[in-house]
Amino acid sequence: MSLPEEDLTCPICCDIFSDPVLLACSHSFCRGCLKRCWDNGLRECPVCRKKASKSTAPSNLALKNVCEALLEVRRQNSVVVEDKTNCSQHGEKLKLFCLVDKQPICVVCQSSKLHKSHDCSPIEEATVDCKDELSLSLKSLQDKLDNLKRIHMTSADTFKYIKTQSLETQRLIKSQFKQLHQVLHAEESARIAAVKKEEEEKIAGMKDKIKEVSAEVLNLTEIISVIQEQIKEDDMVLLKNFQSTLERRKSVALGSDHMSGTLIDITKHLANLKYTVWENMLDQIDYTPVTLDPNTAHPCLILSEDLTSLHYSKQATCCPDNPERFHISAEVVGTASLGSGNHHWVVETGSNQDWLLGVASSSVPRNNEISARPENGFWTLCFRDGELRAMTSPPTSLTITKPPKQVKVQLDYNKGTVSFSDTADNTTIYTFTTTFKESLLPYFYTQSSHPLRIMPEKVLITMLRQ
């Protein structure tokens, strides 16, 4: 264990012991310090004043070794400090800082070929400048660290959300297939019932036919038996009964042997069965030309399970802060990327009094608040505060007798037109004309709890004949 430095200090010179001696009273002093005190004639301990023997005080070897070790450590430390402040090549003080090589140098180094043409500054100024630069670097690194921590947290939340998305999507798929299974099961049951019904009808017909033929067979058998008996009778009896016997024979009508149509019409039940069932299912299945992309929906927008309607909720949902999502206002876009050709869809606005509909460029910012204007990549119709406006620059107020309950959006990408019409009377509300430079997405905005709904369309089947 090392002793505290105060225990290694001489009480007389207040410095580290030099050749320490030990008195009988257990106090230690430097040999030289004690000699100077005793030169006055009094041989006593300078601390406790106890009389000392007249013999020479013995050396305190243990204390001497400890003190010498402490002095050696001090000496080595002073050499290290001196080495740090002196030039290792020239031994001169490091008084300058080379701004090119970014290292401290001495005045001899500055005159050398290595640094002669380099700009230098005094160590004191360089220290301040370097500390400032390191402080900026530290702040930048701290910002990066904070950003990485935020990304890490967002990634963890996204990981959990992906699991939730997967389970919910699987549930919805199973739900929709269950509905399809129910439709198919109902169709199967109806067709099997039709086969059984026809079977019952055909069997009933055949039973009637068999019964009729059996009766005719019995009647004919009886007549044959009578004729056979008449042939065996006397001639006179045969002749007397001949007329009645002939009449009885003529009353026999042979049954029809026509059996056409008695079998089950298999073709009626099996011909193009899969196609016919699929065609019938179309009457019970909705098709919407546009579906909403939930990964782009603002957290305050609630989408329906089939992704065809949206409404606003003050209670934001828990969803990740992914780059595709609108973060500022209650917006969402469709999944279909519209890059050429003609497209249309109908949106039911109903009781919603605060909405924007139309198209937006696929590159519109999702984390900045910008106006829905053509110069920003939006071509939309807006209804708010009872006023209908085309969102031109500035907005154009439109005169209407009553708000449209259903709005048809028509895009002709190649001609550069976006038209809005009221489906009630098929009148055009407004048409934008421009030149599109990138793909577009169906666009929706609302801050109303009343839903906007994309209307389903009737599917027509066209047969291609070779």
What pLDDT, on a 0 to 100 scale, did the predictor assign at position 154? 84
What pLDDT, on a 0 to 100 scale, did the predictor assign at position 318? 83
Place of tokens 């030039």: 87
- Between 34-48, 188-202, 400-414, 416-430, the lowest mean confidence (pLDDT) is in 34-48
Q: Is the pLDDT of residue 253 over 80?
A: no
If you average pLDDT over residues 111-115, what whole number do you get? 84
Average pLDDT, the chain: 88
- Quick check: 453 and 309 in contact, CB under 8 A? yes
Q: Is the pLDDT of residue 83 over 60?
A: no
Rounded CA separation 377/364 (Å): 6
Output the pTM of the full model: 0.63
What pLDDT, on a 0 to 100 scale, did the predictor assign at position 384? 94
Confidence of residue 1 (pLDDT cuts 50, 70, 90): very low
* 283, burial (CB in 10 Å: exposed 0-12, middle 13-18, buried 19+): exposed
How many CA atoms within 13 Å lie on the side-chain side of 310? 29
Rounded CA separation 165/322 (Å): 14
Stretch (H or E) spanning 431? strand 427-433
Residue-wise pLDDT for 127-185, tens only, equals: 899 999 899 999 999 999 999 998 888 888 889 989 999 999 999 999 989 988 998 99
Rounded CA separation 295/49 (Å): 93
Residue-wise pLDDT for 379-392, tens only, equals: 999 999 999 999 99
Tokens of 251: 């009353």
If you average pLDDT over residues 349-367, what whole number do you get? 94
Q: Is the pLDDT of residue 254 over 80?
A: no
What pLDDT, on a 0 to 100 scale, did the predictor assign at position 80? 57
- Quick check: 358 and 434 in contact, CB under 8 A? no
Q: Cα dist. 271→265, 302, 347 in Å? A: 10, 45, 39
| Residues in a beta bridge with 421 | 408, 428
Tell which wins on pLDDT, 426 or 464.
426
- Which residues have a Cβ under 8 Å from the Cβ of 135 and sit 6 or more positions away? none
Counting residues of the chain whose pLDDT is more than 90, the rounded percentage is 46
If you average pLDDT over residues 104-119, what whole number do you get? 86
Tokens of 327: 């973060």
Q: Is the pLDDT of residue 446 over 90?
A: yes
- Which residues have a Cβ under 8 Å from the Cβ of 67 and sit 6 or more positions away? 8, 16, 17, 18, 20
